[in-house]
Chains A and B, each alone.
Chain A
Amino acid sequence: MNTDIFNVQTKIGKPWKKPPFVQSNLLRWVLITGFVIYLIAAYMTIDVNWSRVYEGLERGKKFVLAFTNPDFTSRSSDIWEGMIESILMTVASSVVGILISIPIALGAARNVSPLPVYLICRGIIAISRALQEIIVAILLVAIFGFGPLAGFLTLSFATIGFLSKLLAEDIESMDKVQAEAIKASGAKWTQWINYGVQPQVMPRLIGLSIYRVDINFRESAILGLVGAGGIGATLNTAFDRYEYDTAAAILLIIIVIVMALEYLSGIVRARVQ
């Protein structure tokens, strides 16, 4: 009887099983057990004060309710000032950041620039990307004093890292044939860049720039937390004074502006590509 079942099994073969995502058996089990051990360790070291959380739920409810009844009016002048400052910082830093990042992107593309220039520009990009906006803002506020200038410099600096890196990658992956054709016609270096390289990367540059404007606005909303100007300072004050309805109003404005920018950038990017 037993042998019969055994025979059937061998005849039809093993039932099909879903192939696992991680192919190697050993690696899969090491990953799983390591993850479980980590989770336990993490759970042990995080002490959550549940009674405090429970107490806070009441306030959380109040905050959620504040969203249904945001207060735009009673602090409207503060909100307005903060918003204007945020927008000013966004525009100014985007313009400066984009202007500076174009030459750096050219320098950081291996097929356009010689090795020493390449290394310097890549170094600038690496530094700018490794430091978060908020940390740069702290340092710049310490150096330049409070106000939107520190925020402006921070955002410009961050824009350079972001834009140069992506643009340099685009330049590196461009079509060589076109660029060579321009070179073969006896063009100077500037002409070569202008007619051989620039038309190829222009759509991407526009798309990235608009995307960066979007990011810069979002970031400008938090720079105020460390004193670098913008709407963040107003928001922080509103939280500190438990004026949730004002805070909700500010958050709603931020969400609406970000949505509008995202919508706009979607249209522009669709048009240039």
Chain B
Amino acid sequence: MIFTYCWQQISKSTTWFFVWDAPRIATDLWTRATPPKWEYISQLGKPIWDTLNIATLGTLFALIIAVPVAFLAARNTTPSRFIIRPIALLIIVSTRSINSLIWALLLIAIIGPGVFAGVIAIAIRSIGFCAKLLYEAIEEIDETQVEAITATGASRWQVMAYGIVPQILPAFAGIAVFRWDINIRESTVLGLVGAGGIGLQLNASLNVLAWPQVTLILILILLAVIFSEWISAKVRHAII
């Protein structure tokens, strides 16, 4: 019932003429988009490097912020359960629920277009994700080890360094690589709103309807995604 209603609403706002025309358009697009314009690749080196930088530096910044947030949000390490923990959780939820493209849109309005906006957008978006997984890992640690360190008369920071950190380090490395992999995917499209990387070239090519270039860029993005997934799978396999 609900579904049919939704479908009716969608079809109402659709220009059906374009839809019936779609197969013709699709074949037309296909003939125009093939073969990819291979020479164009010489101009894509820098954008790919930018994309990699956005993803890596963004992940790095995110981790720097996510670690303290995670410690504040975990039930067993938070200094105050009623004031600080909800704030930390709020940071996690609000950064997580907004897509990095929207963050990029916002940051471009604030700090201007460019790679830097992309880095910050990726960083903000990743904070919530990393902090959430990390604080869940912290809550699952083995308390006996922490108690053993505490019993030796260690200070709060020493307990952290010797009792908690070694237990969550593998999880931390796994989360970092996992998020890096996702960030590579996201940073490829950030350029669509002007935040640098290969998406900028994609947008430029789309705007001038240079479909052979678009095909080449899409192939490149696909390769980048497969590459990052391969690396992250390798690293996670090595850790776990």
Please state if B112 and A56 are interface contacts (CB–CB under 8 Å).
Answer: yes
Q: Which of B197-240 contact A (CB under 8 A)?
A: 206, 218, 221-222, 225-226
Please state if A239 and B13 are interface contacts (CB–CB under 8 Å).
Answer: no
Among A101-109, A160-168, A198-206, A214-222, which stretch is in contact with chain B? Answer: A214-222
Please state if A85 and B13 are interface contacts (CB–CB under 8 Å).
Answer: yes
B59 to chain A, nearest CB (A): 12
* Distance A254 CA – B152 CA, assembled complex (angstroms): 49
| Size band of the interface chain B makes with A | 35 or more
Contacts of A254 in B (CB 8 A): 97-98
A94 to chain B, nearest CB (A): 9
Please state if B99 and A144 are interface contacts (CB–CB under 8 Å).
Answer: no
**Which secondary structure dominates chain A's binding surface?**
helix
Please state if A235 and B102 are interface contacts (CB–CB under 8 Å).
Answer: yes
Please state if B56 and A46 are interface contacts (CB–CB under 8 Å).
Answer: no
Contacts of A259 in B (CB 8 A): 93, 97
Closest to B116 in A: A48
* Distance A92 CA – B14 CA, assembled complex (angstroms): 14
Q: Which of B165-203 contact A (CB under 8 A)?
A: 166, 169, 173, 185-186, 188-189, 192-193
Contacts of A143 in B (CB 8 A): 22, 25-26, 29
Tell me whether A46 and B119 are in contact in the complex, defined as CB-CB below 8 angstroms, given that A85-B13, A143-B22, A225-B193 are known contacts. yes
* Distance A221 CA – B99 CA, assembled complex (angstroms): 8
Task: Check if A114 is an interface residue, CB within 8 A of chain B.
Answer: no
One of B14, B101, B105, B169 near A21 (C-beta < 8 A): B169
- Interface residue total, chain A, C-beta cutoff 8 A: 57
* Distance A239 CA – B9 CA, assembled complex (angstroms): 27
Contact with A along B102-128 (1 / 0, CB 8 A): 100110011110111001000000000
One of A88, A130, A135, A251 near B98 (C-beta < 8 A): A251
Task: Check if A124 is an interface residue, CB within 8 A of chain B.
Answer: no
One of B93, B166, B225 near A255 (C-beta < 8 A): B93
One of A49, A131, A232, A235 near B222 (C-beta < 8 A): A131
Closest to A127 in B: B222
Among A2-10, A69-77, A147-155, A179-187, which stretch is in contact with chain B? Answer: A147-155
* Distance A132 CA – B103 CA, assembled complex (angstroms): 17
Closest to A61 in B: B110
Please state if B189 and A134 are interface contacts (CB–CB under 8 Å).
Answer: yes
* Distance A242 CA – B106 CA, assembled complex (angstroms): 10
Task: Check if B151 is an interface residue, CB within 8 A of chain A.
Answer: no
One of B19, B105, B186 near A149 (C-beta < 8 A): B19
* Distance A222 CA – B199 CA, assembled complex (angstroms): 15
A70 to chain B, nearest CB (A): 14
Please state if A53 and B53 are interface contacts (CB–CB under 8 Å).
Answer: no
One of A53, A145, A221, A247 near B112 (C-beta < 8 A): A53
Contact with A along B2-25 (1 / 0, CB 8 A): 110011011101110011001001
* Distance A124 CA – B195 CA, assembled complex (angstroms): 31
Closest to A84 in B: B9
Contacts of A138 in B (CB 8 A): 192, 206
Task: Check if B49 is an interface residue, CB within 8 A of chain A.
Answer: yes
* Distance A262 CA – B128 CA, assembled complex (angstroms): 14
Please state if B14 and A148 are interface contacts (CB–CB under 8 Å).
Answer: yes
Please state if B111 and A52 are interface contacts (CB–CB under 8 Å).
Answer: yes
Chain B interface residues (CB < 8 Å from chain A): 2-3, 6-7, 9-11, 13-15, 18-19, 22, 25-26, 29, 49-50, 53, 56-57, 93-94, 97-99, 101-102, 105-106, 109-112, 114-116, 119, 162, 166, 169, 173, 185-186, 188-189, 192-193, 206, 218, 221-222, 225-226
Chain A interface residues (CB < 8 Å from chain B): 18, 21, 38, 42, 45-49, 52-53, 56-57, 59-60, 63, 84-85, 88-89, 91-92, 95, 130-132, 134-135, 138-139, 142-145, 147-149, 152, 218-219, 221-222, 225-226, 229, 232, 235-236, 239, 242, 247, 251, 254-255, 258-259, 262
6 A-B pairs with C-beta separation under 8 A: A89-B10, A130-B226, A142-B25, A218-B99, A221-B98, A262-B97
4 more contacts with CB within 8 A, not counting A47-B115, A92-B3, A262-B93, are A138-B192, A139-B29, A142-B25, A145-B18
Nearest 4 Cβ contacts at the A-B interface: A145-B18, A258-B97, A60-B110, A92-B6
